[in-house]
Chains A and B, each alone.
Chain A
Amino acid sequence: MTILWVILALVVIAALWLVAMYNSLVQLRENVKNGWSQIDVQLKRRHDLIPNLVETAKGYIAHERGTLEAVVKARQQAVNATGLKDKQEAENFLSGTLRSLFAVAENYPNLKADQTMLRLQEELTSTENKISFARQYYNDEVNRLNISIQSFPNSIVAQMGGFTKAEFFEIKDSAEKEVPKVKF
């Protein structure tokens, strides 16, 4: 009789443990989803800002057609891109063309002093930062999810619940800051 009770208790504990495990995995998956949607919002925001930027810059550097057209083209590619890999590449390319546009703008003091340009530049800087922060958050959460799915007892629950590993979103950026070691 006692053995029956013990077994019953063990079953209940195991069931509770499974539920807790499953819930934590769901939570992680939601965080990843949320992180991805944040990145998406910011990428769209960047796409929306670029036409304005090009219009403003045109007034001052109309003869630098190559640079401006490269930005417009890169933006179109980025808008049309689907799938994580394509998106990554298109966004990387877009960042590159934008950087060369700002480098060109450095040579035109009047363009640099233009209020609309300043405002757009601030908006773009902010959006770039947001993208990088959103990516940081997303990648952190992806990392947690992936580790959780692969480590031993969780991996059973993950397989039963149909959890799959998520992909990192990486943007190759020369100005990327490395993660410093945090010490207390």
Chain B
Amino acid sequence: MTTVEKVLGFFKEKGQQVNPDTDLFKGGYVNSLFALEIVMYLEKEFGIKFKNKDITEKNFKTVETIATTVEKYL
């Protein structure tokens, strides 16, 4: 499974249909709950811990940018 597919898995679990390039902020997908959950999910799923500087709106804007950010740690 690619990183993008794994990240999409998070949204599938929540019952949200998104594409790799869906703007998560515009679509109203992002709230603090989402923010916390996705960070925790990714850290657990990939066994990583994000550095503070990587936790930004820009890096979490779409599934694609999230995957790119994750891949820096792999």
Instruction: Say if A and B assemble together.
Output: no
Binding site for B on A (CB under 8 A): none
